[in-house]
Amino acid sequence: MSHPLHKDYAGAKLGMWLFLFTELILFSGLFLLYGAYLARYPHEFAAAGREMHLFFGTLNTAILITSSLLVAMAVTAIQRDERRTTLLLLGGTVLCAAVFLFNKYLEWSAEIGRGIYPGSPKLVAGPPGESVFYGLYYLTVGLHGLHVLVGGTLLTVVALRVRRGTIHGGDYVWLENGALYWHLVDLIWIFIFPLYYLIL
């Protein structure tokens, strides 16, 4: 029996969407804790929230939204079979990811320098709500940062495959799924940013 080449784009995208749901639910556990503890410690949360570096938060939001735009444009470019443009746009996306992580490094360094990190003596001595706030902050943003790293790596692999020609205008489901993953990373940040930096 000859094995027909089985390419099921709709199937591949369905699988990716299902996987993205599981990622959302993974983060939802942390958001759930945020909600429960916010209700218990509204004042401590507000006090801690005002200490956050709004500059880094805003800058990183702008960077991530730009990167999402770039990767969406990369999908359009590959549909038109413009390989060079696709590569440039993907390179831009990965660059944004790197800058995002670099900013995160600066921001965390500043905070750790002030003695704010999970289990630090300063937090242990401080009011209990602040310790919970920063504990959640580090875990949520850390997990998100890990996803930025994974997404950046994924898009790098996709870019290499575009260059080799295994992803092209007739077969680009890998790029599309990579872009979907990147949008998820962006989307989760869109929730993290207001919750930790803005509304408190």
Least separation in angstroms between residue 18's CB and another protein is 5
Token reading at 15? 């699988």
Token reading at 110? 């500043």
Position 200: which residue type? L
> Which CB sits closer to another protein, 107 or 130?
130
> Which CB sits closer to another protein, 28 or 58?
28
Give the whole-angstrom CA distance, residue 44 versus residue 34.
13
> Which CB sits closer to another protein, 119 or 169?
119
Q: Are 45 and 200 within 8 A, CB to CB?
A: yes
Least separation in angstroms between residue 106's CB and another protein is 21
> Which CB sits closer to another protein, 92 or 135?
135
Interior/surface letters 9-19, b for 16+ CB within 10 angstroms, e for the rest: eeeeeeebeee
CA atoms within 13 A on the CB side of 34: 21
Least separation in angstroms between residue 96's CB and another protein is 26
Q: Of the candidates 175, 181, 188, which has an alpha carbon nearest to the alpha carbon of residue 150?
A: 181
Least separation in angstroms between residue 89's CB and another protein is 27
Least separation in angstroms between residue 37's CB and another protein is 7
CB within 8 A of 157, min separation 6: which ones?
none
Site residues for another protein per CB under 8 A: 1, 3, 8, 10-12, 14-15, 18-19, 21-23, 25-30, 32-33, 36-37, 40-41, 44, 118-119, 123-124, 127-132, 135-136, 138-139, 143
> Which CB sits closer to another protein, 27 or 172?
27
Position 15: which residue type? G
> Which CB sits closer to another protein, 40 or 84?
40
Least separation in angstroms between residue 135's CB and another protein is 4
Give the whole-angstrom CA distance, residue 176 versus residue 74.
9
Q: Are 122 and 116 within 8 A, CB to CB?
A: yes
